[in-house]
Amino acid sequence: MIELKGLTKVFDTGKARLTAVDHVDLTVPAGEIFGIIGYSGAGKSTLIRLLNGLEKPSEGSVEINGQNITAISGPKLRKARQKVSMIFQHFNLLWSRTVRENIEFPLEIAGVGKEERRKRSAELIELVGLEGRESAYPAQLSGGQKQRVGIARALANDPEVLLCDEATSALDPQTTDAILDLLVDINKRLGLTIVLITHEMHVIRKICHRVAVMEGGRVVELGEVLHVFQHPKENITKRFVAQVTETEDSAETVRHLREQYPEGQLVKLIFVGDQAEQPILTQLIREYKVEVNIVHGNISHTQRGAYGTLILQLKGTADEISKALAFLGAHDVQTEVMGNA
């Protein structure tokens, strides 16, 4: 388990004092995939450096599995860091070493014998799907393959926590999804706690159980990913959620839909979890005298369930439309009337 208590980091530039992390309190249970999202300058990179002991906090503490890493130094800190590994945006591989040699490097530093290093690297090469590429050099690998090497190297010392610093930002969308699927698989197989920082809500949506939204060094919103998608409170969170749910309710989109569908009423529906898999619209059409036309929508899948949005054109009498909306509300489907079409 990771526990942050009043964690603060202030940088003194000589001319001014910059508070990069401002009294952050967080608890990450063992085995969770926890996301930290924020735009550039939010403080997330400093926070992750505090987690692995590369920065000392100005105030507060970092505890990992009961050990306060902010209170130790020297050999004890180096030993503690072996249980907190990290993968990076730009891979940070040794270009003069092969895939196998890159993976074995932390074991070599730790004094592990050659035979044991070779056995461990072979296991990790299989785990990350790099069989047949053991003798390749980084320059001969694709971006996704390089990140797989980075992940295997990070796992070499059998860590308890894996930190991911914008680990997919340099990859194309398809490769990003493959790396995220690999991280989910590793989390399930090894029970590894994963903390990742990103500015991409797609990454949070796809693999994280919970998310913290950072702005100005503070955690401004925190919760299960599915709940944050359903009820974003802060404006910054709404902007991030819009990255993957699209901007169905933007003024321009609504105006365009009204022009395209000039009759009836436009209604936005939000489905969460099991609702997204249920034939609720089929029941509505069967039971109420309304004509239903789906004009826009999408479903996003999270680790805790699905989140879907639909925009419907409803045609019928005001009374029947009112009954239909009441039916949806009774089935815990959020509705928002977007005005007459």
* 281 Cβ contact partners less than 8 Å away, ≥ 6 residues apart: 292, 294, 310, 312
- Residue 219 to residues 23, 38, 40, 212, Cα–Cα distance (Å): 9, 9, 14, 6
Residue 282 has pLDDT above 70, yes or no: yes
Residue 111 has pLDDT above 70, yes or no: yes
Q: Residue 337: how many CA atoms within 13 Å on its side-chain side?
A: 13
Mean pLDDT of 260-278: 72
Can you read off the two tokens belonging to residue 150?
């980075």
Run of H or E including 256: helix 251-260
Buried b (16+ CB within 10 A) or exposed e, 154-172: bbbbebbbbbbbbbbeebe
Q: Is-contact 106 156, C-beta < 8 A?
A: yes
- Residue 230 to residues 36, 146, 277, 308, 334, Cα–Cα distance (Å): 18, 36, 16, 9, 9
What domains does the chain contain, in order, with CATH numbers?
2-244 (3.40.50.300), 246-340 (3.30.70.260)
Residue 108: what pLDDT?
94
Residue 157: what pLDDT?
92
Please give the mean pLDDT across all residues of the chain.
88
Mean pLDDT of 217-233: 91
Query: How much of the chain, in percent, has pLDDT values that exceed 70?
Result: 92
Residue 251 has pLDDT above 80, yes or no: no
**pLDDT tens-place string over residues 37-90:** 999 999 999 999 999 888 999 999 999 988 898 888 888 888 888 889 999 888
Residue 276: what pLDDT?
53
Residue 249: what pLDDT?
47
Residue 35 has pLDDT above 70, yes or no: yes
Q: Residue 323: how many CA atoms within 13 Å on its side-chain side?
A: 14
Mean pLDDT of 162-191: 93
* pTM across the whole model: 0.81
Q: Which residue has the higher pLDDT, 256 or 1?
A: 1
Q: Which of 82, 42, 48, 67 is nearest to 240 (CA)?
A: 42
Residue type, 220: V
Q: Report the distance separating Cα 213 and Cα 313, nearest Å.
A: 34
Q: Report the distance separating Cα 16 and Cα 184, nearest Å.
A: 42
Q: Tell me which range, 181-195, 255-269, 289-303, is most confidently predicted by mean pLDDT.
A: 181-195
> Within 10 A of 307 (CB to CB), how many other CB atoms are there?
26
Q: Report the distance separating Cα 208 and Cα 33, nearest Å.
A: 5
Beta bridge partners of 195: 34, 163
Q: Are strands 161-165 and 84-88 parallel, antiparallel or unpaired?
A: parallel
- Residue 46 to residues 87, 100, 195, 228, Cα–Cα distance (Å): 15, 31, 13, 24
- Residue 244 to residues 165, 172, 200, 301, Cα–Cα distance (Å): 21, 16, 9, 10
The 33-37 sheet, strands edge to edge = 84-88, 161-165, 193-198, 33-37, 210-215, 218-224
Residue 71: what pLDDT?
87
Residue 252: what pLDDT?
64
Residue 340: what pLDDT?
59
Residue with tokens 């940070």: 92
Query: How much of the chain, in percent, has pLDDT values that exceed 90?
Result: 56
Q: Report the distance separating Cα 329 and Cα 323, nearest Å.
A: 10
